[in-house]
Amino acid sequence: MIQLNTLDEIDKFIKNNTIAMLYFSSGGCNVCGGLLPKIEEMLIKFPQIVISKISVDKFTQAAGQYSIFTLPGILVYIEGKEIIREARFISVNMLEDTIERYYNMLF
C-alpha cells in the first residue's frame, strides 16, 4: 500500500490510475486499523484497483482538501472522477458490491 503525504502526490495517484482508492485514517482510530485489512482482502478480487493510505494525523491538509469529516474515510476515483465516498460506518459487503458494478463495466 502506498502512503501519500502531499496533495501533489494524491493528485498524481488519482490521475495515474484507472481506479484509485484513497483510505483516510488516524493512528488513534481503532475502527480505521480494523477495517483496513478487510478492505485489502476485498481488493484481492479487483487487481486493477490501487489503494493508498492517507494518515490525517500527519497530513491534516488532505482531510480539508477532500472534505473528510469522519474516519475512516474511503474515496474511490475512476478515471479521475470521484465515484464512491464512504465514511465512518462502512459496510465492506456494500462497498464490494458497488465497486464490482463499476469494475465489471471497465474491465
Domain ranges for the chain, please list them: 2-106
Q: Residue 46 and residue 64: Cα distance in Å, rounded?
A: 29
Q: Residue 69 and residue 73: Cα distance in Å, rounded?
A: 8
CA-nearest of 38, 17, 54, 55 to 96 is 38
Residues 76 and 17 sit within 8 Å (Cβ to Cβ):
no
* CATH class as words, domain 2-106: alpha beta
Residue-level pLDDT at 1:
86
Opening angle at CA 50, ends 100 and 85, nearest 5: 60
Extended strands (E) in the chain: 2-3, 19-25, 49-55, 73-78, 81-87
CA 10 and chain centroid, separation = 11
Average model confidence (pLDDT) across the chain: 96
* pLDDT 10s digits, 18-49: 999 999 999 999 999 999 999 999 999 999 99
Residue-level pLDDT at 82:
98
Give the pTM.
0.94
CB under 8 Å to 96, separation ≥6 — which residues?
42, 45
